[in-house]
A = this chain, B = another copy of it.
Amino acid sequence: MAFEQERLTEAELARLKDLARSARGDIITMTRVAGSGHPGGSLSSLEIYLVVFSCADFSGKVRDRVVVSHGHTSPGVYASLARLGHLPVEEVTAFFRKAGSPYEGHVVRGIPFIDWSTGNLGQGLSAACGLALAGRVKKQGFHVYALMSDGEQAKGQVAEARRFAVKYGLSNVTVVIDWNGIQISGATDMVMPVNIIEDYLADGWDVIEIDGHDPAEIYRALRSARASQKPTCLAAHTIIGKGIPFMEGKAEYHGRALNEREMGEAVAALGIEDRTGYFREKRKGRWEWQPSPREDRPAIEAGDPFTYADEDKVDNRTAFGKALKDLGEKNIPGGRPICVLDCDLASSVKSTDFARAFPDHFFQGGVQEHNAATVAGALSSLGVVSFFADFGAFGMDETYNQQRLNDINRTNLKLVLTHLGLDVGPDGKTHQCIDYVGLARGLYHFKSIVPADPNQVDRAVRFVAAARGNFLIGTGRSQWPVIRKEGGELFYADGYRFVYGLMDVIREGTDGAIIAYGGMVERALRIRGALSTRGLTLMVVNMACVTEVDGKVMERVRQLPFVFTYEDHNPETGIGLPIAAWLLDHGFRGRMGRFGVREYGASGDTDEILKVERLDVESMVGAIREMMSS
């Protein structure tokens, strides 16, 4: 068990002192060999890294977790881990910041004991909270360390995470702040004064001030924090550039490597040899160490689908809520954890039934979307299937960069966005999310699904719960009619199985095709109906997987003379352009029309707004007829 002994022994302290000296040499050498990097903060964080990496509990299967929030201090991380025997010393020094190597400029998951890829300051404490929640949900008593810089304490997301940790009593989280008082532009007190201690205390944390270069003191404080009933912050006073006299206290060494003269002076101060030449030569070769791949794929029971007809009066977000609760019932009692994060919109995004049934698996994050998005991502990274359900404007627009970092971390997040498109109605332009398809397209490992009716929602939700990786499920606000086959049978019920990436031909047609998703599919069917009375038959295609162009269906679409995309989304970032590109690449010779939202929408009923944007059924019938007859 970690931190059992009351204090570090003299022998242990002597060893740490010795390792620190070697690691300082590694830090200045690797940054000089790479020609860039951040030696200043690496030197000030070094003793913190050495004590945490050598004293926390990394022995068993259920090991402690670490988030290095100021990921640019990667040289300090690599050097400490290497000197403690967890990474090859020569490789980290030679291949730091070499394209393709694991030793990136900002730390990434896969490095031993590094549980979150960072680089965007201020997100690390939220990630630590997510990992800590995973420990609680899985009943694993591990501790989580969030190692941070002082400059990033200014970020608002840190305050959000502090409150979240207090609300959920995450006493298994310890923050250590490398308080060196210097950031890129100079003294933190000049750049942006932050009352660090007052802020942590005001939000209900314990604070312990320590000398961040004294391993004995660091150990004692970490031990005390581990025993505390509150989340605890160690405010560790440090010196930027510590250990190399001319670097100490200087902002200029925050982010630049030493030059030759400085290097000579530095190795002399440390009493070591300058091995820059050796490592420069070695850098031309290839590294051997590779991170081992991670697989936290929880085996989720998807359950049997629910089927709805119009008379059930179930809108898509409610269908999500019902599937969610069913998934909880099928899995949580059996120890297959599913969790839900909310930002004060549970009743609108329909996660309340789940919350009532599984209060220990439901986390109310308040109006703190940045924190909640990161918590959900980090939670999902430890084998807990995590749903983060929010209005599109908040769950994606507001938190885009948090979702991007989740994506970089290859999390297992299920992001449910409701009230998408113009269907948020009278809440108006700030709440209309008419850009999410484009945003999702920029996230390489997100798969996105905007189902057309509650039956498809139910099947898609069960699919994503059981599948590995990041998924986006989108719904509107209103109830839309269920989609039926020509003969009247439910399209997305018996015999239908959700397969990611497929387009569905809802109706055949010979005069053109209209491609839509979500609430526009049913409108497309009405447009088809209106046009058919004038002798025109349109194929209607549901492109629920909004970032995937299904070549098989498109091959049929391509042979028609007209193709229309129809979305309550900005047509410049929605499905219109990728469909156009596919058609261009495949020799389409007909004409294409891309219909979408051309200006931030008005505040009013959905149908009224659609009319203002000329996307209502009547306007569309007119526009399509005009195109087809011109």
Query: Which A residues have a C-beta under 8 Å from some C-beta of B?
Result: 34, 36-37, 71-72, 97-101, 103-106, 108, 117-122, 151-152, 154-160, 163-164, 166-167, 183-185, 190-195, 198-199, 201-204, 342, 344-348, 364-371, 393-394, 397-401, 404-405, 407-408, 425-431, 434-435, 438-439, 441-442, 444, 547, 570, 572-573, 576-578, 580-581, 583-585, 588, 591-592, 594, 598-600, 602-605, 608-609, 611-612
A407 to B122, CA, bound (A): 25
Assuming the A-B contacts A99-B611, A408-B429, A573-B442, are A367 and B151 also in contact, with contact meaning beta carbons closer than 8 angstroms in the complex?
yes
Q: Quick one: given A400-B401, A438-B573, are A368 and B195 in contact (CB under 8 Å)?
A: no
B97 near A347 with CB under 8 A, answer: no
State the CA gap A609–B405 with chains docked (Å): 20
The contact sample of 26 A-B pairs, CB cut-off 8 A, is: A99-B608, A100-B612, A103-B603, A104-B602, A105-B426, A106-B428, A106-B431, A117-B429, A117-B430, A151-B367, A155-B160, A155-B368, A155-B369, A156-B158, A159-B199, A184-B345, A191-B364, A192-B364, A192-B366, A195-B203, A198-B201, A400-B401, A407-B600, A439-B442, A581-B581, A584-B584
Chain B residue with Cβ nearest A197: B202
- Point out the residues of chain B lying under 8 angstroms from A160, CB to CB: 154-156
Asked whether A191 and B105 contact (CB < 8 A) given A99-B605, A119-B430, the answer is no
A408 and B344 contact, Cβ closer than 8 Å, known pairs A159-B156, A430-B120, A577-B577: no
Among the interface residues A34, A122, A344, which one has the most CB atoms of the partner chain B within 10 A? A344
Q: Is the CB of B603 within 8 A of A105?
A: yes
Beyond the given pairs A159-B159, A583-B584, 20 more chain A to chain B contacts, judged by CB atoms under 8 angstroms and listed by A's residue number, are: A99-B602, A99-B604, A100-B604, A100-B608, A106-B430, A108-B428, A120-B394, A183-B344, A184-B345, A185-B347, A192-B364, A195-B203, A393-B401, A407-B600, A438-B438, A438-B573, A439-B439, A442-B570, A581-B581, A585-B591
Residue of B nearest to A429 (CB): B408
The answer to whether A444 touches B599 (Cβ under 8 A) is yes
Q: How far is the CA of A100 from the CA of B444 in the complex (A)?
A: 37
Contacts of A100 in B (CB 8 A): 602, 604, 608, 612
Interchain CA distance A547-B573 in the complex, whole Å: 11
Given contacts A106-B430, A119-B430, A602-B99, contact A163 B184 (CB under 8 A): no
Tell me which residues across on chain B come within 8 A of A152, comparing CB atoms: 367
A156 cross-chain contacts in B, Cβ below 8 A: 155-160, 368, 370-371
Instruction: Give the residues in chain B near A444, CB-CB below 8 Å.
Output: 570, 598-600
Q: Report A111 CB to chain B, min CB distance, Å.
A: 12
Tell me if B584 and A592 are in contact (CB < 8 A). yes
C-alpha spacing A121/B390, complex, angstroms: 14
**Chain B residues in 8 Å Cβ range of A366:** 151, 154, 183, 191-192, 194
Check if A122 sits within 8 Å of B442, measured CB to CB. no
Which of A37, A444, A588 gathers the greatest number of chain B CB atoms within 10 Å?
A444
Q: Which of B72, B99, B105, B588 contacts A612 (CB 8 A)?
A: B99
